[in-house]
């Protein structure tokens, strides 16, 4: 079904590697129409990276599509690196890429952790943003992190039992710290099984319906994802509590569209409503038959409708996507 919702697959017009300090080099690519509306795609995770599907939420005739793998993610190097890896570093990297490409302003598009980074970046540099398209709002609060580590067992007790069961009973009073000790280790006998258990838990809980048997991720990629997610969780996303909500006034003048699945267990819907409460001008669309991922048909449909609407109108005032149901 997803192939009938997204734009056809395309290849990059150009791509490259951008050194941002003595340690990190970022992979980036540009697709679509170089004369079109610039749009920046920010992937989730942190640690996952972009894919060929990431390019397909935008009309390639109307958009200049810019994508990058964040520090330690995807094809950026070193993969899984934690040093010099904070939210402030990622914001600076986005600005470095914008300068390199000569982009004055761009639409910022991000889901899950990508929504977090999109908010942090736009609040830091509102003058360089045309607007935001967000999916699966995650504000990085203590409550959200605790929900991920512990609360999801209210809905996925079986998946949580496997995730918690990887940790000896004596350490289960703080699962995040216990996983961190393993994921941040240099011993593959410790970090690799922990990374696999972490990824399985997240993958099972992320979708409304049971996920298909996907291709198994490489050891390097699954380790990078587990390490970086645990790193940012442990450090409370390297931002003061509630900063993303407290600084919304810096971006309230920008058009914003938010798609969020009703049954999102990874990033619960209540936090999208918290954002909407301080940003009433933002258009929040609750997808009735969806969980968390951008691969949920209803979420993909809403995101494509939003990017098409912005390309035509340059705003989201009173915009809501056409009705859609995966079960229709």
Q: How far is CA 319 from CA 38, 109, 176, 220, 282, in A?
A: 21, 17, 39, 41, 10
Please give the biggest Cα pair distance in the chain.
59
Side-by-side strand order, sheet with 283-287: 14-19, 25-32, 63-68, 37-42, 106-111, 129-135, 256-261, 283-287
Given 43, 292, 301, 309, the catalytic residue: 292
d(CA 306, CA 109): 11
- Residue 267 class from Cβ within 10 Å (0-12 exposed, 13-18 middle, 19+ buried)? buried
Number of CB atoms found within 10 A of residue 286's CB: 16
d(CA 106, CA 100): 14
Find out whether 120 and 242 touch, Cβ atoms under 8 Å.
Answer: no
Given 264, 289, 301, 309, the catalytic residue: 264
Active site (annotated) includes residue 264: yes
d(CA 188, CA 166): 15
Active site (annotated) includes residue 112: yes
Number of CB atoms found within 10 A of residue 30's CB: 18
Given 54, 73, 76, 112, the catalytic residue: 112
List, by residue number, the catalytic residues: 112, 264, 292
């Amino acid at each position: 079904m997803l192939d009938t919702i997204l734009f056809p697959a395309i290849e990059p017009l150009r791509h490259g590697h951008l050194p941002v300090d003595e340690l990190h080099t970022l992979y980036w690519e540009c697709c679509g129409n170089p004369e079109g509306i610039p749009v920046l795609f920010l992937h989730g995770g942190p640690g996952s990276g972009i894919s060929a599907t990431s390019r397909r939420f935008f009309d390639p005739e109307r958009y200049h599509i810019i994508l990058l793998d964040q520090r330690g993610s995807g094809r950026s190097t070193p993969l899984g690196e934690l040093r010099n890896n904070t939210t402030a570093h990622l914001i600076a990297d986005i600005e470095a890429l914008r300068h390199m490409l000569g982009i004055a302003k761009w639409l910022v598009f991000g889901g899950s952790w990508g929504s977090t980074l999109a908010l942090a970046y736009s609040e830091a540099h509102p003058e360089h943003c045309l607007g935001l398209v967000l999916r699966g709002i995650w504000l990085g609060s203590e409550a959200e992190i605790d929900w991920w580590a512990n609360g999801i067992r209210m809905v996925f007790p079986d998946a949580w039992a496997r995730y918690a069961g990887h940790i000896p009973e004596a350490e289960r009073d703080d699962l995040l710290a216990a996983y961190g000790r393993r994921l941040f280790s240099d011993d593959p006998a410790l970090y690799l099984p922990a990374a696999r258990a972490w990824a399985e838990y997240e993958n099972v809980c992320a979708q409304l319906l049971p996920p298909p048997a996907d291709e198994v991720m490489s050891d390097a990629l699954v380790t990078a994802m587990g390490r970086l997610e645990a790193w940012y969780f442990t450090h409370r996303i390297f931002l003061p509590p509630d900063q993303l909500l407290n600084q919304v006034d810096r971006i309230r003048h920008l058009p914003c569209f938010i798609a969020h699945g009703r049954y999102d267990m990874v990033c619960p819907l209540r936090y999208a409503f918290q954002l909407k409460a301080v940003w009433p001008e933002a258009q929040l669309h609750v997808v009735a038959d969806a969980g968390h991922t951008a691969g949920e048909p209803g979420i993909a449909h809403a995101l494509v409708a939003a990017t098409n609407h912005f390309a035509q109108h340059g705003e989201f005032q009173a915009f809501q996507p056409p009705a859609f149901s995966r079960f229709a």
